[in-house]
Amino acid sequence: MLESLDLPLGVVLGTFGVERHRITWHGQAAHAGSTPMDQRRDALAGAAKMALEIREIARRTGSGAVCTSGNVVCRPGIVTSVVETAEQLLDQRDLNAHRLAAMLAEAQGASERFADEERIEVSWEKIWSIEPILFDETLVGFGEEAIRAAAGSTHRLPSGPLHDAAEVSRAGVPTVMLFVQSLRGLSHTKLEDTKKEHLELSVAALDRLATRTVDWVAGGGGRAS
């Protein structure tokens, strides 16, 4: 996001809430050569439709919402058989709890529709979830001030990935994060890299933020991370 805006630094509003589920599609194994197309109960067809639909769900939701189908495991998993079962992993994230719940409900409704269309069955299993975590508004403001002083302009953005800072915030400690631009938009990978001049700006901004926060705490503003 920062690269697309041509900005070196941004202040983080908080971490996305996450809903993770395993969706299992149940069809009927049948010979790939002898089974007519209109007679098939192909479990993979449901998973394929869902993989495309969640992209539209995220697009309609907007505000940075994301949905990802990270894996599909098919059985019997051989070239000569229609897929009997397809286990699909779904990850949905948003900074707003109500939007996140709405995205989940949309996906569940779509799965029932696709199951009817393909004459298959579908079941859902929750893997894990966490609520959106918003960072301290005062510290977010301090972060903006620090970035403007160091780099001239800033941008407020959510964190899609989770961070230790989220747990610090959930423990009741006022928390904030700064982000520095990653080249080609790649993060959480060995290919991640950042320009030296942007790293220097990030150090300067973090120093200003830390100094401002220490003064705030010394003045009775509260505990901070």
pLDDT, tens only, 78-107: 999 999 999 999 999 999 999 999 999 999
Give 222's pLDDT tier (boundaries 50, 70, 90).
low
Q: What is the mean pLDDT of residues 189-196?
A: 94
pTM for the model stands at 0.90
What is the DSSP annotation of 154-171? --EEEESS--HHHHHHHT
Q: In the predicted model, what is the mean pLDDT of the chain?
A: 96
Domain ranges of the chain: 9-14+134-218, 17-130
Is 90 exceeded by the pLDDT of residue 128?
yes
Distance CA 90, CA 70 (A): 7
Q: Which CATH superfamily is domain 9-14+134-218 in?
A: Zn peptidases (3.40.630.10)
Q: What is the dihedral of CA 156, 10, 207, 188, to 10 degrees?
A: 120
Domain at 17-130: CATH code: 3.30.70.360
Residue 109 bridge partners (DSSP): none
Q: Are 91 and 68 in contact (CB under 8 A)?
A: yes
